[in-house]
A and B are shown apart, each in its own frame.
Chain A
Amino acid sequence: MSKNTVPALVCENVTMKFGGLTAVSDFNLRVPEGALYGLIGPNGAGKTTVFNIVSGVLRPSAGAIKLFGDDITGLSPDRIAYRGIARTFQNIRLFQNLTVLDNVLVGLHLRREVNLAQALLALPQHRAEEARMAQTATQLLEEVGLDDFSDYRANALPYGQQRRLEIARALATKPKVLLLDEPAAGMNPAETENLMRLITDIREEFGVTILLIEHEMKVVMGICERMTVLDHGEIIAEGTPAEIQRNERVIKAYLGGGAVVGNKGS
């Protein structure tokens, strides 16, 4: 019963100050389980700061983060990943010198069942787990369409595929909530189309709640059910794509900020 009432991710009055600068102030967010939720806003609005707080990279100056009702504020990033939040990065952060397959395998490491001694002695449990991990990783790579490149080095992949690999790697941690930071940045329209399909497929297949930061309006408007709009660290609107598109403050924030809405990258 609680499943339907407790939201997957909640930010309560989150404020982040860097010295004298307030990057995010009094930020509130409720992402219901299974949602595909958008977080948009012009450049420098504080979107990535929100992600960094939720994923544990930054500790908020005030406020709380809750994952399915549990307070996870101030936990280290690896603990938060273990609790079930995975993320991608705006400026891709793959393990450049590892193979595509190994990148995904690293994501599987935190749910390992064997210990170091078993691994060093190459006991059967270890071998079985390695085989299992390889299988899961391959499936994930198939999911994002990279199974043909599994023994390439990550830095040999083209940009768009690196973004997909980041998604596969994040999925490997078996997240309950997936944070995608501008997954369509730098993609061409065809790649963006594919990505949108991939994101909706992922939600269906993995039953994961997705929070998406996106600059590209088309993506957010196309796939998100609801969204929150940030500007200068403050929430200026919240609602369905249709509501947001009509919202005066949003239009002003985007146009007033000098950003061109909707046709970036096309």
Chain B
Amino acid sequence: MAGKSILKPILKIAAVCAALVLFFLLLWWGQEHWDAYAVRILNLCGIYIAITLGLNLCNGFTGQFSLGIAGFMAVGAYTTALLTMAPEIKQAVYFIEPLIYPLNSIQWGFFPALLMAAVVSGIVGFLVGAPAIRFRGDYLAITTLGFAEIIRVVFTNIVPITNGALGLKGIPPHTDLVWSWGFALICIAIMARLMKSSFGRALKAIRDDEIAAEAMGVNLFSHKCLAFVLSAMMAGVGGGLLGNLITTIDPNMFRFPLTFTVLMMAVLGGLGSITGTVISAVLVTVAMEALRALEEPRVIFGLALPGIPGMRMVVFSIALMIVILFFPKGFMGDREISLDRAKRFATRLCRTNTSRQG
């Protein structure tokens, strides 16, 4: 009996490890052998899972409706790009004003650069969050949107660091499936662990009733900051992965529509659901690419149809409106898909049946 109880968790861990190894081997192999376009979309899926989880942590689980995610992505993307670009390329890109020392002469590996992106965006997240979390609801939304906009404007104007509106080109394409999905899995694990812990419950308590949470001894400032900073870090690293995937970035990429896209993923999946977020981020990313066709001119049965710019976002806005009006909790609400849950559901079903009989 005792042997069995020790054996079981070991087996479980072994199984999880084996599955992970197989998964990453597949991704590693796929990076080389799958269609380049498919690989790119899969990369985007992984990145958006991470970023949307970050947004959901703040907006969904903690109830702090922030619209600053694009700003944190910008911080992460620029940090990673500036640290990984080769000095020669930097020299060529910064032709209006040269890049300041020491950024112009260093080149880091991808991993330390991403770590730095996490640190920098975390700090920025704290600087934005610490004053902003005093506001509630709509006010928090508009101040964080304002902060993101300020970040963008600053990035457009500090030419010696960011190269201004021209943006950065020639960022090394470090991001591959192992990186993007590796980070997605890390974020999923962090979220799942957090939500199963006392800290996660405290965050949800803040979402449901701030005043009661504070009266129960939950420190609002530190817990909201925790959500804000973690969220900013996920967005920042996600932004770094994105920059090193598409290899060019400029401040205008990180405007409100980007935040809107991520917000839409979170809302469709359900604010407050990890599994919902994962499914939704993948679906929306794929749909984004699929619907690109709507905006490109093409010929169908000999008929030349013009591309309609803006059509994709029309479709997505309508989808968002339908969900929020008719299924306000998204397709998962705050539920999760997990083995435990399925088991609990089954037992409850049995219990209600027996109690009805009795």
**Do A and B touch each other in the complex, judged by CB within 8 A?**
yes
List the interface of chain A (C-beta within 8 A of B). Answer: 55, 57, 76-78, 81-82, 86-87, 89, 93-98, 102-103, 105-112, 114, 116, 119-122, 126, 129-130, 133, 151, 169-170, 172-173
Which segment, of B38-46, B65-73, B163-171, B190-198, faces chain A? B190-198
Contacts of A102 in B (CB 8 A): 201, 204
A112 and B199 CA atoms in complex are apart in Å by 10
Produce 1/0 per residue, B180-195, CB < 8 A to A.
Answer: 0000000000100110
Q: Specify the chain B residue showing the minimal Cβ separation from A106.
A: B205
Q: Is the CB of B214 within 8 A of A133?
A: no
Contacts of A120 in B (CB 8 A): 190, 193-194, 197
Quick one: which of B204, B216, B220, B226 contacts A107, CB cutoff 8 A?
A: B216
Q: Is the CB of B218 within 8 A of A109?
A: yes
Query: From residue B216, how far is it (CB to closest CB) to chain A in Å?
Result: 5
Quick one: which of B194, B201, B208 contacts A109, CB cutoff 8 A?
A: B201
A76 and B219 CA atoms in complex are apart in Å by 9
Q: List 11 A-B contacts (CB under 8 A).
A: A97-B204, A97-B208, A106-B201, A106-B205, A106-B213, A109-B218, A116-B226, A119-B198, A119-B199, A130-B198, A169-B216
B: number of interface residues (CB 8 Å): 29
Q: Specify the chain A residue showing the minimal Cβ separation from B208.
A: A95
Query: From residue B30, how far is it (CB to closest CB) to chain A in Å?
Result: 29
Known: A81-B217, A82-B217, A120-B190. A108 touches B212 (CB 8 A): no
A interface: dominant SS: helix
A172 and B212 CA atoms in complex are apart in Å by 13
Query: Which residues of chain B from 125 to 167 have a CB within 8 Å of any chain A CB?
Result: none
Produce 1/0 per residue, B269-280, CB < 8 A to A.
Answer: 000100000000
Contacts of B205 in A (CB 8 A): 95, 98, 103, 106, 109
Q: How many A-B residue pairs have CB under 8 A?
A: 103
Known: A95-B213, A151-B344. A106 touches B202 (CB 8 A): yes
Contacts of A94 in B (CB 8 A): 208-209, 212
Query: From residue A114, how far is it (CB to closest CB) to chain B in Å?
Result: 8
Quick one: which of A57, A81, A95 contacts B209, CB cutoff 8 A?
A: A95
Q: Is the CB of B199 within 8 A of A77?
A: no
Query: From residue B212, how far is it (CB to closest CB) to chain A in Å?
Result: 4
Quick one: which of B216, B334, B344 contacts A173, CB cutoff 8 A?
A: B216
Q: Is the CB of B216 within 8 A of A106?
A: yes
Query: From residue A105, how far is it (CB to closest CB) to chain B in Å?
Result: 5
A57 and B213 CA atoms in complex are apart in Å by 12
Q: Is the CB of A130 within 8 A of B197?
A: yes
A107 and B205 CA atoms in complex are apart in Å by 10
A109 and B219 CA atoms in complex are apart in Å by 10
Contacts of A86 in B (CB 8 A): 215-216
A46 and B217 CA atoms in complex are apart in Å by 24
Produce 1/0 per residue, B340-356, CB < 8 A to A.
Answer: 00001000100000000
Residue with the greatest number of chain B CB neighbours at <10 A, chosen from A77, A87, A111, A112 = A77
* Smallest CB-CB A-B distances: 3 pairs: A110-B217, A81-B217, A119-B197
A97 and B206 CA atoms in complex are apart in Å by 11
Q: Is the CB of B215 within 8 A of A110?
A: no
Quick one: which of B193, B198, B214 contacts A108, CB cutoff 8 A?
A: B198
Q: Is the CB of B204 within 8 A of A95?
A: yes
Q: Is the CB of A119 within 8 A of B194?
A: yes
User: Counting CB contacts under 8 A, is B17 at the interface?
Assistant: no
Q: Is the CB of A109 within 8 A of B190?
A: no
Contacts of B214 in A (CB 8 A): 76-78, 81
Contacts of A129 in B (CB 8 A): 198
Q: Is the CB of A93 within 8 A of B211?
A: yes
Residue with the greatest number of chain A CB neighbours at <10 A, chosen from B190, B207, B214, B220 = B214
A77 and B190 CA atoms in complex are apart in Å by 29
Q: Is the CB of A112 within 8 A of B198?
A: yes
Contacts of A170 in B (CB 8 A): 216
Known: A109-B217, A110-B218. A116 touches B212 (CB 8 A): no
Contacts of B218 in A (CB 8 A): 78, 106, 109-110
Q: Specify the chain B residue showing the minimal Cβ separation from A105.
A: B201
Residue with the greatest number of chain B CB neighbours at <10 A, chosen from A78, A81, A82, A89 = A78
A110 and B204 CA atoms in complex are apart in Å by 15
A119 and B212 CA atoms in complex are apart in Å by 24
Q: Is the CB of B198 within 8 A of A105?
A: yes
Given contacts A78-B216, A119-B199, 18 further A-B contacts (CB under 8 A): A76-B219, A93-B215, A95-B212, A97-B207, A106-B218, A107-B216, A109-B201, A109-B202, A110-B217, A114-B198, A116-B199, A119-B194, A120-B193, A120-B194, A122-B193, A126-B197, A172-B216, A173-B216
Query: Which residues of chain B from 58 to 108 have a CB within 8 Å of any chain A CB?
Result: none
